[in-house]
Copies of this chain bind each other. A is one copy, B any other.
């Protein structure tokens, strides 16, 4: 596997998917080279940040031309593991859980939802696309037998930690937490959070108090 020049700091990791998306679309336009300042403009960053970020990778640009799109894309694919398919389970078959399980963009990006679980027995057996909602008691078995690497927590805050514990015990190595609750996991299980309502609430504050953007 790819060895990195150094551990990529969290601030940079957060930008990687955006670089990747941008590079994909430049590649689709058959553009071959991009400079740090062009990328910066596209992503709302400074060229300094872009060059600083790329210095983490084992990949170099060329003076006067910038970065080769194809090479950059290959590097990002490796760093993000975008060339592999992850098996994923969704816990929580509410509105959010159902969407996630159906989300065709996931498949396109290499995230394959293999099962949906819910604690509510009323929901067991009901269909979410191709999948049937399963009871929580099947979780460990499915994760192990199918080699599931990630779990998505789409349950109410009150249940989130219990679900996280189940996922960890079952053996997943990554958790996407969509609940409001902070969850605690062992050091070898990574967690990222994505909270849509929280984003709307932030926005609400910013609108009310006109939190400006930094002036240029």
Contact = CB atoms under 8 A, between A and B. Distances in A.
Max count, chain B CB within 10 A of own CB: residue among A106, A149, A188, A202: A202
B200 A187 contact: no
Copies in the complex: 2
Interface stretch (A7-15, A67-75, A130-138, A162-170): A7-15
Given A95-B102, A103-B96, A150-B200, A81 B184 contact: no
A105 B202 contact: no
A204 B187 CA distance: 15
A111 interface: yes
Given A1-B208, A205-B8, A209-B4, A95 B86 contact: no
Q: Which 9 A-B pairs give the minimum distances between C-beta atoms?
A: A99-B99, A190-B206, A17-B198, A21-B180, A194-B199, A17-B201, A174-B207, A174-B203, A81-B204
